[in-house]
Amino acid sequence: MGNFKFAEDFLFGTATSSVQIEGGDTNNTWYEWSELGYIKDSSSCFTACDHWNRVEEDTKILQDLNVQTHRLSLEWSRIEPQPGQYSEEAIRHYREEIKLLLASKIEPLVTLHHFSEPIWFQQLGGWSKPENKKHFIAYVQYVVEKLGDLVSEWVTFNEPNVYANLGYLLGIFPPGKRSLLEYFKITSALIETHIELYTLIHELRACRGFLGQTKVGVAMHIRFFDGLTWLGRRTAALVDYFFHQIFIEGMVRGKLKFPLISLDHKKIKKTGYADFFGINYYTRNIVEFSLNPSIYFHKCVTDKKLDKSDLCWDIYPEGIYRVCCRYYRKYKLPVYITENGLSDRADRQRAKFIVDHLAYLAKAIQEGIEIQRYYHWTVMDNFEWLEGESAAFGLYHCDFRTQQRTPRPSAMLYAQICKTKIIEQNPINN
Ligand code: NOJ
């Protein structure tokens, strides 16, 4: 028991994504998905938090939270509304937003792909057609040329494993495909694109002489899969392999693991394609074997002993410690917790959730695990994909009708932690 002070160079932040907060864009795949009626509460990302028109107000919230860094994503469908046609207005908008962050002493970490895409990209066949990756690469080149003087740290893909899983294997995210073959195919495409982008972003920033050390990585969704029985443990290991390992080995080390195959046949030259290890950690799953092939022979169950978020996700703070230890020991890359949070409309659990997760990070740090950042998901309630407006991940409540933002009590606590970098009464025995 006792207090813990994070090092001065440890940065606290918040994370958001464009489609989830901006509103007003009809050119992205999630607008179409909302229109098709796939969102549980029939809401649409067209509304969201109207952040596009409230950048100053929302930057003020970040200042009030005392964050030192903020992770945001750029909306591809706004910047490139038609193939090869870029919107000067959209890029100017993001430049202004990033300048405001910098003027507030908030370091931006910019995500290039956070689930949403222009509708035209899907119409061209999306990632299922290997030749389409050239569109995303050209887009990133444009963005880095335009913003690379302001931004040195980049996330290429947010949760590529969730994107591939839900969009191409389970068919519940756009483009709604349900095929194991497609899953492996687009996984290879995402990995090969990340590898090209890693080199491209480094080279571009270096040859333009942009200041600040370039860092490029991925924000991987990582959960712990535990099995309780012998068969459960074997099943959990397989799920872990197909959900985590093939992506991580590909994007961090440039290795295409079985059954992935190269789609562009270029030689992978290096062995490292990440400058930090980005972890989005939310929960863990207990995995059981199932005879049902349509759920790929496994099912995830909750642990009755654990508290649950509004979405019934198990609250398991120890998991953040376990994932940090596991991946730092394996890859020796500085860890960024690129997301961590919960849906808790009544704000009954968020303060404890934050402190407990940070306490486990403190424990890992004391054991020599290099963790450099913590980004809380998220600033305000927003458009939570399939859950629409019904989930409440925000430190601030957002009333989507009036666009009134109201801090929850846990926002005060997080602001205090960001300012002092101290967590009081560390509940973990060291
Ligand atoms: C991870 C995703 O990156 C983010 O978009 C989402 O809102 C949170 N998880 C919560 O589900």
pLDDT tens per residue across span 197-217: 999 999 999 999 999 999 999
Start-to-end C-alpha separation, the chain: 8
Residue 214 counted as domain residue: yes
Q: Which residues contact 209 (CB under 8 A, 6 or more apart)?
A: none
> What's the 219 CA to ligand 1 centre distance in angstroms?
11
Q: Within 10 Å of residue 402's Cβ, how many Cβ atoms?
A: 7
List the residue whose alpha carbon is closest to atom 11 of ligand 1.
Answer: 384
Residue 38 counted as domain residue: yes
Residue 106 counted as domain residue: yes
> What's the 327 CA to ligand 1 centre distance in angstroms?
21
> What's the 42 CA to ligand 1 centre distance in angstroms?
19
Q: Which residues contact 190 (CB under 8 A, 6 or more apart)?
A: 127, 157, 160, 163, 164, 247, 251
> What's the 150 CA to ligand 1 centre distance in angstroms?
25
Lowest mean pLDDT among 1-5, 86-90, 158-162: 1-5
User: CATH no. for residue 125?
Assistant: 3.20.20.80
pLDDT for residue 293: 86
pLDDT for residue 270: 74
Q: Phi and psi of 419, rounded to 5°?
A: -75, -45
Residue 229 counted as domain residue: yes
113 neighbors 158 (Cβ within 8 angstroms): yes
Q: Within 10 Å of residue 87's Cβ, how many Cβ atoms?
A: 14
Residue 68 counted as domain residue: yes
d(CA 220, CA 184): 17
Q: Which domain holds residue 196?
A: 2-425
* 344 ligand 1 Cβ < 6 A: no
Cα–Cα separations (whole angstroms), residue 77 to 81, 134, 164, 175, 391: 5, 16, 19, 15, 25
What percentage of the chain exceeds 70 in pLDDT? 99
Residue 430 counted as domain residue: no
Rg (Cα) of the chain, in Å, rounded? 20
Label residues 355-386 b or e (16+ Cβ within 10 Å = b): bbbbbbbbbbbeeebebbbbbbbbbbbbbbbe
pLDDT grade, residue 171 (50/70/90)?
very high
Q: Phi and psi of 391, rounded to 5°?
A: -95, 155
Into how many domains does the chain fold?
A: 1
List the residue whose alpha carbon is closest to atom 6 of ligand 1.
Answer: 384
E-strand stretches of 257-353: 277-280, 284-289, 298-301, 335-339
Note the pLDDT tens digit of each residue in 352-402. Answer: 999 999 999 999 999 999 999 999 999 999 999 999 999 999 999 999 999
pLDDT for residue 295: 86
> What's the 94 CA to ligand 1 centre distance in angstroms?
21
Residue 287 counted as domain residue: yes
Q: Within 10 Å of residue 102's Cβ, how many Cβ atoms?
A: 12
* 384 ligand 1 Cβ < 6 A: yes
What percentage of the chain exceeds 90 in pLDDT? 94
d(CA 277, CA 274): 7
Determine the average pLDDT of the residues in 217-230: 96
The structure tokens listed for 16 are 């958001």
Looking up tokens 């992506």 gives: 247
Residue 36 counted as domain residue: yes
pLDDT for residue 2: 79
Instruction: Enter the DSSP assignment of 271.
Output: S
Note the pLDDT tens digit of each residue in 260-314. Answer: 998 876 777 777 999 999 999 999 999 999 999 888 899 999 999 999 999 999 9
